[in-house]
Amino acid sequence: MNDDVRKTIEEHRHWLAGRSGGTRADLTLADLEGLDLSGIDLREAKLVGAKLRGSNLRGAKLKRADLFLRTAHRLQELRPGGIDFYIVGDGPEAGRCRALIEVLGLEGDVHMLGFRPDATAVLAAMDLLLITSDHEGLPMVLLEAMSLGVPVVASAVGGIPVVLDHGRYGRLVSGQQPQRYVEAVLPLLDDPAGRQALASLARQRVREHYTAARNASAYLDLYGRLCAGGSGARTADRSGTAVSSGKSSGA
């Protein structure tokens, strides 16, 4: 775990403790939990004519909400008044986000929704999810968006390129610069049919390769081989689903 990640975790623990009025704040880090589709409404209905972009904010600096906002600013320059941006979640970075929104003049374009118990329904209403993180393991919001038929533009970090099969199931951005994200978002913005086709492929990928049942089966297979005396060093299939018996190399 590098120093930036460690510092971010510690900041988030203090923020959670302050909100709860206590001193204990649990923060679980995982590379792949697997998505349980049983509680998610895979409805076909989408908002028509709305252009919504979304980001999930848990308050971590590594999520790069500032980059999301600067990308939003550039997109609004190119499509004045044509796009609404939503940030879902809360955390110690929320105040900095509001300040930057004011500096960039995005008060009427960016909507900070805070904590939402109906976050899945909010995500389902978006036309596109934008993930601008500097570091990730495998963000659950990525799998959730794909399962709901919401196209994704994301930074090419952590396990994201594997899940998106290096761009086949979503758009990947290399280089943390607003213009790079703009260049990935605009073609989808201008091609609703292509956006829907991409979302359909991504939804099928999650259903076939990233369900909780499939992940549990992979772990059971690993444990079985270990008990039988197999090496169990690492197993992976072509979908990118992988389990390992070794220690994680990082958070």
In a domain, residue 167? The reply is yes
In a domain, residue 174? The reply is yes
Does one domain contain both 114 and 225?
Answer: no
Q: Please give the pLDDT value at position 166.
A: 93
Separation of alpha carbons 77 and 62, rounded Å: 26
Mean pLDDT of 150-169: 94
The tens digit of pLDDT for each residue in 72-100 reads 999 999 988 888 888 888 777 888 889 99
Does one domain contain both 171 and 225?
Answer: no
Separation of alpha carbons 75 and 234, rounded Å: 42
In a domain, residue 184? The reply is yes
The tens digit of pLDDT for each residue in 112-134 reads 888 888 888 888 888 899 999 99
Mean pLDDT of 5-24: 48
Does one domain contain both 190 and 233?
Answer: no
In a domain, residue 249? The reply is no
- Rounded (10°) CA dihedral 54, 98, 134, 181: 50
Q: Please give the pLDDT value at position 194.
A: 93
Does one domain contain both 111 and 223?
Answer: no
DSSP β-ladder status, 84-88 and 52-56: parallel
Mean pLDDT of 189-213: 90
Does one domain contain both 224 and 168?
Answer: no
Asked if the model's pLDDT at residue 32 lies above 80, the reply is no
Asked if the model's pLDDT at residue 23 lies above 90, the reply is no
Q: Please give the pLDDT value at position 139.
A: 87
Cα-based distances in Å from 42 to 122, 149, 180, 206, 226: 13, 8, 31, 12, 37
Does one domain contain both 170 and 132?
Answer: yes
Does one domain contain both 143 and 230?
Answer: no
CA-closest candidate to residue 61, choices 3, 123, 119:
3
More confident residue, 27 or 250: 250
> In this structure, are residues 52 and 86 in contact, taking their beta carbons and an 8 Å threshold?
yes
Does one domain contain both 37 and 149?
Answer: yes
Separation of alpha carbons 88 and 126, rounded Å: 11
Q: How many residues does the chain have?
A: 251
In a domain, residue 85? The reply is yes
CATH number at residue 186: 3.40.50.2000
Q: What percent of the chain has pLDDT over 90?
A: 34
In a domain, residue 16? The reply is no
Does one domain contain both 231 and 166?
Answer: no
More confident residue, 48 or 141: 141
Does one domain contain both 102 and 222?
Answer: no
Does one domain contain both 56 and 174?
Answer: yes
Domain range for 224 is: 212-243
In a domain, residue 73? The reply is yes
Does one domain contain both 140 and 234?
Answer: no
- Find the distance separating the first CA and the last CA of the chain, reported in whole Å: 5
More confident residue, 76 or 18: 76
Which position has the token pair 């500096």?
A: 103
Asked if the model's pLDDT at residue 22 lies above 70, the reply is no
The reported pTM is 0.68
How many domains does the chain fold into? 2
